[in-house]
A and B are shown apart, each in its own frame.
Chain A
Amino acid sequence: MLIQFTLNNQPVAVEAPSDITLLALLRDHLRLTGSKEACEVGECGACSVILDGELVNSCLVAAPQVSGRSVITIEGVRAPDGGPNDMQQNFISYGAVQCGFCIPGMIMAGEALLLKNPQPTRQQIRVALAGNLCRCTGYQQIVDAIEATAKSRARQRA
């Protein structure tokens, strides 16, 4: 079936089977492999994307369900020059990345949080990351990086 939606602010139309998830649509049919495939049951958050402004697990969304809607994946999160944006830069400078596998999902969860709540407390950041597992970092640096991003964006807005 033809699935038409907005992907990273660009219209796309893709012919795909009706029985796949959004994660499979992104990875196997659109070759966007930044969203990771891990548990595929909504436990780990590695596949996180932003659907109409809200964080979702793309492994639990039916691909045709995004018809007419807007999806942002990790490929759509970047600085205007194509390099890492401020949050991604902070992940690097705060040492929030080790193997990196969970990081696309962590960034999406962080960006989804700041869309809804631009100045979260540390506790709110932790709650926002509750569905994202990291086997390496211990989370502390990830929380630090998101907190620093929220603060610097607030300064820029001021």
Chain B
Amino acid sequence: MPKYSFATAATVDEAVRLLNEPEVRSIPLGGGTDIFVALRVNPLWFDRLVDITHVPELHHIGVADGVVSIGAAVTFTQALESELLQGVAPFLACACENVGGPAIRNSGTLGGNVANAAACADSLPALVCLDAVVHLLSPAGERALPISEFVSGPHQTNIQPGELITHFSFAQPPAGARSAFIKIGRRRAQSISRLSIAAIGTTNAGGAIDYIRITPGAATPKTIRFTPVEDMLKGQPPTRELFVRAGEAMSAEMISVTGRRWSTPYKEIALKAITERVLAAIFLQEAQPC
């Protein structure tokens, strides 16, 4: 007897119906890059996989009325190759380029990355910077909540049984916004983030920073924007000296959330350094990793 069964959904409605059939614990299957790894270490937690990767809407990337939407089954490769995303949110495309190796990027999906909610999930910092909204569908109807509320901790989300993530949406960032993503792993490719950072910002006609969002990844249990640091940057002319202070403030903010832990001596220095680099990439036009 197989340990679990398999079904393929052709439409979003069919996926939701299959996920909610009584007495069959069903979970959506995207790229499988997390599920098949977890299956090797965890006891079986479902009776059926529902393949959602054939649902056309779930692969949609588009913009309407200034709102960008990305389907849950969009793969990292589709996201990083999307001209729309390269244009409106290059740091999200860059984060997707940093995921795993090519085979993982061809299979793994943004919906899966967010649903799995690893603290080190590469797509999270950029999505949190963008104040992305997670759209969910269940027999009860649609539900939408901000990504920083949806992901409540490492491998913890507020998804309810039977709910399917259909897509993410975010307001198109201001024209002229520049963004960057930096990841530190043990090696360049196929590595898990030890620490990462995403930021997006603009300066006004007077040369002062007038829009800035900054979110570190794998720094705090919940991936959140560091708004106190954003506030200290706003209204200031972008200088190296300011970015050094911002780096110190980022580390201080991280420690105020996590306390001092075994990894703090490393992360304190590393977060400071990548903060300076990400801000220099955006505001001082310094070379970006991608």
A contacts, CB < 8 Å to B: 1, 17-21, 40-43, 45, 48, 51, 54-57, 59-62, 64-65, 67, 109, 112-113, 127-132
Contact = CB atoms under 8 A, between A and B. Distances in A.
Interface string B177-221: 000000000001110000000000000000000000000000000
A41 B36 contact: yes
Interface string B11-24: 00000000000000
Contact of A131 (B5, B32, B100): B100
A42 B33 contact: yes
Contacts of A129: 101
Interface in B18-75: 29, 31-33, 36-37, 40, 49, 51, 53
A128 to B, nearest CB: 6
B106 A54 contact: yes
The B contact surface, by secondary structure, is mixed
B207 to A, nearest CB: 36
B4 A18 contact: yes
Given A65-B51, A131-B100, A131-B190, A56 B6 contact: no
Q: How large is the interface on B (under 10, 10 to 19, 20 to 34, 35 or more residues)?
A: 20 to 34
Nearest to B187: A130
B3 interface: yes
Interface of B: 2-6, 8, 29, 31-33, 36-37, 40, 49, 51, 53, 77, 100-104, 106-107, 188-190
Contact of B6 (A40, A41, A59, A64): A64
A18 B40 CA distance: 16
Contact of B103 (A19, A20, A42, A62): A42
6 contacts: A42-B36, A45-B103, A54-B106, A56-B106, A60-B33, A109-B102
B104 A131 contact: yes
B103 A55 contact: yes
A67 B101 contact: no
Given A62-B6, A131-B189, A132-B101, 16 more contacts: A18-B4, A20-B2, A40-B40, A42-B100, A42-B103, A43-B190, A55-B106, A56-B107, A57-B103, A60-B31, A60-B32, A65-B29, A65-B51, A112-B102, A113-B102, A131-B190
Contact of B36 (A55, A59, A109, A113): A59
A128 B19 CA distance: 36
A43 to B, nearest CB: 7
A41 B77 CA distance: 19
Contact of B51 (A19, A57, A64): A64
Contacts of B102: 55, 109, 112-113, 127-128, 130-131
A65 B53 CA distance: 9
A60 B37 contact: yes
Nearest to A52: B106
Contacts of A130: 101-102, 188-190
Q: Lowest 10 A-B CB distances belong to which pairs?
A: A131-B101, A130-B189, A19-B2, A130-B101, A17-B2, A18-B6, A54-B106, A64-B6, A18-B2, A57-B103
